[in-house]
Amino acid sequence: MNNDMLLSTLDPDLAGALASRRDLFRSTAMKLGAVASAPVVLAAVSTQAFGQGMPAQVAEVLNFALTLEYLEDEFYRQGLRAGVVPDRFSVVFRQISEHEAAHVTLLSSTLGAGAVAKPQFDFTAGGKYANVFRDFKTFATLAQTFEDTGVAAYAGQAPALMGSNAALTTALRIHSVEARHAAEVRLVRGVKPWKGAYDKAMTKQQVMAAVTPFIDA
């Protein structure tokens, strides 16, 4: 199954957004000649957009994003499975969990064979948060940290995606979903849903320093 088909199965909108193929289609069609059939053109475009043609810098950013999404996805999965979320907030965290799972699917299928492997996570951070899946306050505090960090991470990486409009737009559309999560988790915790009029961006190094304690290998 190529990436086009995968993306269409995931979300019809994304086939359009991520692919953003209008121009690509046009230029490829011209190269192949007007007689080329649509499937031939699409197959060529697919390789061009997602295969060996993906710029190394774009792949690197998307893999960095995928690592963060793996972390969030696994965190909410384990939390919901452990029953740490009170009934009152279960709908909120199920919705967030579904989005993180969708982000993992989206990014890993976009990267295809170039996707990084899922790391092993330790959400106790070596015992520092030993009760993370038993105590909701600890769980929600870490959730807020992960969401706010995710927002800052996507903001920090956006300029590195400027060469690829499709990848940039997709990253921006994930970015604002993470911000919605961050606000809601903060409301659940009873704190203000923002830090001010502007969110700060974090560099890759800053983000990795923040999440490394939760990554085993």
Partner 1 sequence: MTEQQNPSIAKHRPVEGRRAFLRWSGVAAAAAVAFGVNVPGLKLGEAFAQSRAVDLGGGDLGVLNYAYALEQLEAAFYTQVIASPYAGMNAYERTLLNDIRAHEVSHREFFKKALGANRIPDLEVNFSAVNFGDRMSVLKTAMTFEDLGVSAYNGGGAAIQSPRYLAAAGSIVSVEARHAATIRDMLRPFTEYFAGDDVVSRGGVDVSNPPSAVLRAAGPFIVTPVTATQLP
Helix (H, G, I), strand (E, B) or coil at 175: helix
CB 85, CB 79: distance < 8 Å: yes
Interaction of residue 11 with partner 1, rule CB under 8 A: yes
Which of 42, 25, 53 shows the shortest CA–CA distance to 114?
53
Q: Which of 88, 113, 212, 216 binds partner 1 (CB under 8 A)?
A: 88
Interaction of residue 177 with partner 1, rule CB under 8 A: yes
**Per-residue string for binding with partner 1, 23-62, x by CB under 8 A?**
----------------------------------------
Cα distances (Å, whole numbers) of residue 60 to 86, 111, 192, 202, 203 = 37, 10, 33, 16, 14
Applying CB under 8 A, the site for partner 1 has a residue count of 59
Residue type, 182: A
Looking only at Cα atoms, what is the longest distance across the chain? 64
Interaction of residue 178 with partner 1, rule CB under 8 A: yes
Cβ neighbors of 26 (< 8 A, separation 6 or more) are none
Interaction of residue 84 with partner 1, rule CB under 8 A: no
Interaction of residue 117 with partner 1, rule CB under 8 A: no
Interaction of residue 137 with partner 1, rule CB under 8 A: no
Q: Which of 3, 4, 14, 140 binds partner 1 (CB under 8 A)?
A: 14
Interaction of residue 151 with partner 1, rule CB under 8 A: yes
* 128: its two tokens: 């520092």
Residue type, 105: T
Phi, psi of 215 (to 5 degrees): -110, 125
Interaction of residue 102 with partner 1, rule CB under 8 A: yes
* 96: its two tokens: 């967030």
Please report which residue ranges of 83-164 form alpha helices under DSSP H: 87-111, 136-157
Q: Which of 65, 132, 188, 211 binds partner 1 (CB under 8 A)?
A: 188
Interaction of residue 187 with partner 1, rule CB under 8 A: yes
Nearer to partner 1, 105 or 124 (CB): 105
- The footprint of partner 1 (CB under 8 A) covers 10-17, 20, 22, 88-89, 91-92, 94-96, 98-103, 105-106, 151, 154-155, 158-159, 162, 165, 168-170, 172-184, 187-188, 192-194, 196-201
